[in-house]
């Protein structure tokens, strides 16, 4: 499902104009990104958590060039679904 499809579904279900729904969805995503950029997780009860995972430095191989490169430590965004969310998917 794309962002446009999400906006259309919410507009259809709530009766709110698409432009307003789109601005709310955009603001939500910006707030989540901003919070994660600061290192703060976002918890949505019953849905899941947007968290930042730290990846340690590691060595990797470039098989075609037969060289070893070092991938520096870095942070990556991740999503961990809530237990109730996972239970609904398993039904």
Q: Is 40 helix (H, G, I), strand (E, B) or coil?
A: coil
Question: Domain locations in the chain?
Answer: 1-39, 41-91
pTM of model > 0.75: yes
Spell out the per-residue pLDDT of the chain, length 91, in tens: 999 999 999 999 999 999 999 999 999 999 999 999 999 999 999 999 999 999 999 999 988 888 999 999 999 999 999 999 999 998 8
Is the distance from CB of 48 to CB of 85 less than 8 angstroms?
yes
Write out the H or E segment, with its range, that includes residue 27: helix 18-37
Joined together, the tokens standing for residue 7 give 């906006």
Q: How far is CA 91 from CA 48, 77, 87, 88, in A?
A: 18, 28, 7, 6
Task: Tokens 């060039």: give the residue.
Answer: 65
Structure confidence at residue 62 (pLDDT): 87
Structure confidence at residue 84 (pLDDT): 93
> Which of 3.40.50.10860, 3.30.70.270, 4.10.520.10, 2.40.30.10 would CATH assign to domain 41-91?
4.10.520.10
Structure confidence at residue 23 (pLDDT): 97
């Amino acid at each position: 499902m794309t962002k446009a499809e999400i906006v259309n579904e919410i507009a259809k279900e709530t009766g709110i104009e698409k432009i307003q729904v789109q601005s709310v969805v955009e603001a939500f995503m910006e707030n989540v990104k901003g919070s994660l950029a600061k290192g703060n997780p976002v918890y949505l009860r019953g849905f899941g958590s947007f968290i930042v995972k730290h990846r340690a430095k590691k060595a990797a191989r470039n098989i075609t060039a037969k060289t070893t490169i070092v991938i520096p430590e870095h942070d990556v965004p991740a999503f961990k679904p809530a237990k109730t969310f996972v239970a609904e998917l398993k039904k």
